[in-house]
A and B are shown apart, each in its own frame.
Chain A
């Protein structure tokens, strides 16, 4: 039996951990973490289930052209030439009638993003979007408005940290393999972990202390900590003098928010807040107050993330060992980075339909607000959007209120999905161009910034099982048909060679799927890309454009005596809504449940495990099993995101659990007040017991 190992990148979530795919006689047999790059062979359940995705027939396996009404599920299978010709003709028709700017594109970014951006730029549309309006948009702007760099530029140095604080960042469940092991190793070495959340999490269970907050009051907590650091002079005055601009403005801003006030607001003891501030000062500068990741939660999430980073700043953590370290790029290593496909074309001069760049505050580069583009399609303002391409993105399951979204999508003449799994968005599209799974596809090379900047290579471990193609090939073929021959690459190697031009590297230089650009760690220290070169409490570009950098705390709406605030989250077994039907993951976690505080359950006559009907304000309802869980805040009802699938092509996931976003009617209009990411946790539900019935 011939055995081989393909070194590649996982594709089951956005973390893209390095993997080894072990093959026997050319067939994938086993997948594990890349032992040359990561923490041994460790791999999370979703990564381990990658071969389950590969072996599964319940995914789009051939190009499909819609034969019935949108969403009806009647399809005609087509060959690749026909499907590509048809999709290109539909795109061309839209662009001829409404101009190239009428093309909207969204994706969960990955190694193919350079190709996606090139595709849009080459055609002349400014409307490239990511999924960030329901993810990291707020925290990204928070990092940008303080440091001049987006959140991804800062690397958390867990290994050398003495105290980590996570706030709604459930890093042991919404996880990356490397990060989990770094944090657990740090804890074993004596690092403290403080977990702030509204419900029990695995992260909380492994933490040195857990602090349960009233949902939506994180900003008050942070203000209380800032106030304490300032009032007790616990902050690093020398660091602040050197690296923080407008500290006086922060001192004045936080004056009303003392720990006693914050404690009342957050439903905690004032001593807890003061105690935490003192502990952090003790451990400074080797502290990490995590800025957050999925931060599209409340109307003040941007301010929550910004104050989290301000706490880091006062403690001198930016640029310090055990704090937040600036990732080094190719230039820091004295090397040239990958050649960019997008740079082949000038940036479109047209304004973006979502208002980013002209109507919105000056955001970090590459920011987008997809829900605002959907709304622009309906109003035709600033101009009509008429064709929409979704790549590995399922807004109908990720954004709130799919009914409203479908009404907005009805304004598009053409909807195209590129996907490796079934999704509500693909099902509602006019054409599906099926992507190969990560096991079967190579990807454009990707530069991973860090102390040792490294170029990573995803390589196919097997030929496609079904009639699928890699995303870069599909986009290239469409581009070629639309007059952009330079984006057509016949082979993966041709694309890699283009990217490596000028880097001094060739594909042979990749060992174990990676090429390091520096053998020694590069630590740039505290460095900020703001106009002042310092951490800007008042961010000059926002100030100039008339947007405030700090806004006062506004107490969140309370749910009322018989309602709950809907709180959503993740589990290690699932990514968004695209793994629930995976044959290896479905048995591990087939259904979601509603977690509420035991006292709330008892008041409703509900016992642990009872079925109940969950009702949205809109009247939408569904049956769910209730768990009485100690540690859930009485105002909260927690459920996992991604369940409640309805598509007949997903036999395992169909009908299992409830979809949280269906309980968020009107949610496309609920946003962060400054940065405008969606505020997903601003919806309320009720529970009605249904005795003697199964959930």
Chain B
């Protein structure tokens, strides 16, 4: 299976959070499934820096969330992307605890878990995920190469420091 990943260009990102708004709007959620971390400019000894990173689902080849879900609420599609079926999710949060990147989100009203499915409906229609398509600076792109996948995993792992 080819791994899919959203590649983040930290040199292009300006921390505007358009990715979050596009995600939240498209998915009809009060929260976004990706999170722009940092994004506040600061003077460091080596110059002005903008330490921005995007916490997003890594679309793991061996998804721990899927393994942890005891309610059968999670499925994997033909592209290897894990989906959550809202009807079966009871909001227990086992998936979030199992995720090495804390990349799932809890709905503040329903309590159910949500995760990025790379905008399945848009993908089926041949469109890019909302965050990628709408990114103000074209700092995001969807890739299916091994190299980008490894790079993306590394970049997401760094998010822990900024959470």
Which residue numbers of A lie inside 8 Å of B, CB to CB? 30-33, 39-45, 47-49, 51-52, 172-173, 175, 177, 180-181, 184, 195, 200-202, 204-207, 210, 212, 572-573, 583-585, 587-589, 629-631
Contact = CB atoms under 8 A, between A and B. Distances in A.
B16 A44 contact: yes
B91 to A, nearest CB: 20
A30 B17 contact: no
Contact of B41 (A49, A204, A572, A589): A204
Contact of A41 (B16, B49, B50, B133): B133
B48 A584 contact: no
A40 B138 contact: yes
Q: Which of B15, B16, B22 has the most CB of A within 10 A?
A: B16
Nearest to B49: A205
B25 A30 contact: yes
Contacts of A41: 128, 133-134
Contact of B47 (A32, A201, A210, A583): A210
Given A49-B25, A184-B12, A200-B48, A42 B17 contact: no
B136 A205 contact: no
**Closest A-B pairs by Cβ, 5 of them:** A631-B43, A572-B16, A205-B50, A630-B43, A200-B41
Given A39-B138, A200-B42, A206 B18 contact: no
B30 interface: yes
B135 interface: yes
Contacts of A45: 16-18, 20-21, 136
19 contacts: A42-B18, A42-B137, A44-B136, A45-B17, A45-B20, A48-B134, A173-B14, A200-B43, A202-B39, A202-B50, A205-B49, A572-B16, A572-B18, A584-B25, A588-B20, A588-B21, A629-B43, A630-B43, A631-B48
Nearest to B45: A630
B138 A205 contact: no
Given A45-B21, A51-B25, A584-B25, A180 B134 contact: no
Contacts of A212: 43
Contacts of A180: 14, 136-137
B136 A201 contact: no
A556 to B, nearest CB: 22
Q: Majority SS of interface residues in chain B?
A: mixed
B138 A630 contact: no
A587 B30 contact: yes
B14 A172 contact: yes
Contacts of B136: 42-45, 175, 177, 180-181, 572
Contact of A585 (B14, B21, B47, B49): B21
Contacts of A47: 18
B44 interface: yes
B21 A49 contact: yes
A206 B14 contact: yes
A206 B133 CA distance: 22
Contacts of B130: 30
Q: Max chain A CB contacts within 10 Å: which of B21, B39, B135?
A: B21
A454 B42 CA distance: 40
B102 to A, nearest CB: 18
Interface residues of B, number: 32
A630 B44 contact: yes
Contacts of A32: 22, 133-134
A30 B43 contact: no
Contacts of A195: 48
Given A32-B133, A41-B134, A184-B12, A48 B48 contact: no
Given A41-B134, A45-B21, A202-B14, 14 more contacts: A32-B22, A42-B136, A43-B136, A51-B25, A180-B137, A200-B48, A205-B48, A210-B48, A572-B16, A629-B40, A629-B42, A630-B42, A630-B43, A631-B48
Nearest to A207: B48
Of B30, B39, B133, the most chain A CB neighbours within 10 A belong to: B133
B89 interface: no
Contacts of B41: 200-202, 204-205, 631
B27 to A, nearest CB: 11
Most buried by B among A43, A180, A195, A210: A43
Interface string B15-40: 11110111011100011000000011
A376 B1 CA distance: 73
B25 A52 contact: yes
Contacts of B47: 210
A230 B32 CA distance: 54
Contacts of B21: 45, 48-49, 52, 584-585, 588
A588 B128 CA distance: 23
A202 B12 CA distance: 11
Contacts of A631: 41-43, 48
Contacts of B128: 41
A567 to B, nearest CB: 14
A629 B44 CA distance: 10
Interface in B109-163: 128, 130, 133-138
B50 A206 contact: yes
B38 to A, nearest CB: 11
Nearest to B133: A41
A48 B18 contact: yes
Nearest to B23: A48
